[in-house]
Amino acid sequence: PIKHDVQPPNEWQYQNKSQPSHEYIRTDVYNPIAASNERIRIAKYACKRLNSSRHRMVAKQFFISQKYHFMFNNIPKVASTTWRELLSYADEDCRKNKPAPPAADINDYTKVVFFREPLVRLVSCYFSKFHISSSFSPIYEKEFRYYILKIRAAGINLLRMPGHPWKRLNVTFSEFVQFVIKYGNRKLRYSKHWKPQYTISDVCSIDYDFIGHFEELAYDGPFALQKLGIANVVEFPIVHSTLGDGIYVDTMLSLSWELIKKVVEFYWQDYEILGYNIPSFEV
């Protein structure tokens, strides 16, 4: 059975789901500050309860701005392209792989990260990177061909056939999920697109000043720009629904119940730490 005994965040009340104004601190609508504080509280409690060890921060995962004194952990498939464009426009020197500030100065930097519901992120990743209609799918098929064929029935035999012809794999969502479950925690190229977010973010090691959720991007996004000190330089774009969200349930229900249980187990620490409820699926 799936154990989930970390208390989820309070049910935030909404009165206006349209693009918000710049008046964020209100008691009658969603409050980014209160929501972030609750997420930070849940993460700290879960990390402590799970005895997650603290380790040295990996600087290359951050967009670091010395001009504005912030460090933004840009997790793939969490509006990462939008954030990269916004941060680079605000500070052209803000990019990944920059040297981290000295340890003694880290606390002087505003540290921000955004998370997304784990399985919604997984569905989005599949359609963006592996589905036959994606322009990226030939790249990912080539990169992970060996693993996908091993998952398929008689895949090993296909691999051993001399002169096995190159052809499109047309990876199914079920095959992709099996690949993630079996190989998702390996240090493979591109694996950050489906690795659990708590590992990419080092949320148990880093004291973030603001934790946003993709699901509240219309509110958390503009507020994060204020937190980073660049709201007067760039404006957060209007948030639209995404492909992964729109077909999420149908895509998940294409899996067997056993596979659904296994993939939820794979991401169970994300659910424990990031403040999301484990989903239930009904036909």
Write the pLDDT tens digit of every residue in 100-119: 676 657 888 999 999 999 99
Across residues 217-240, what is the average pLDDT?
94
- In the chain, the amino acid numbered 131 is H
Q: What is the pLDDT averaged over residues 25-50?
A: 88
Least reliable range by pLDDT among 31-35, 184-188, 267-271: 184-188
Among the residue ranges 55-64, 88-97, 121-130, 246-255, the one predicted with the least confidence is 55-64
C-alpha span between 239 and 217 (Å, rounded) = 7
CB-based contacts of 108, cutoff 8 Å, min separation 6:
69, 101
pLDDT at 168: 86
Phi, psi for 188 (deg, rounded to 5): -105, 155
- Per the rule left: phi > 0, alpha: psi between -120 and 50, beta: everything else, 154 is left
Amino acid 174 reads S
User: In the chain, pLDDT over 90 holds for what percent of residues?
Assistant: 64
Residue 19 has pLDDT above 50, yes or no: no
> pLDDT digit string (tens) for 52-63?
765 555 556 789
Exposed / middle / buried, residue 57 (Cβ in 10 Å: 0-12, 13-18, 19+): middle
- Give me the pLDDT at residue 132, please: 94
CA distances from 215 to 115, 245, 262 (A): 9, 10, 24
74: DSSP letter: -
121 compared with 283, residue with greater pLDDT: 121
Interatomic CA distance for residues 224 and 236, integer angstroms:
9
Residue 153: pLDDT over 90? no
CA 93-129-60 angle, 5° bins: 30
In percent, how much of the chain has pLDDT > 70?
A: 77
Query: What confidence tier does 240 reach under pLDDT thresholds 50, 70, 90?
Result: confident
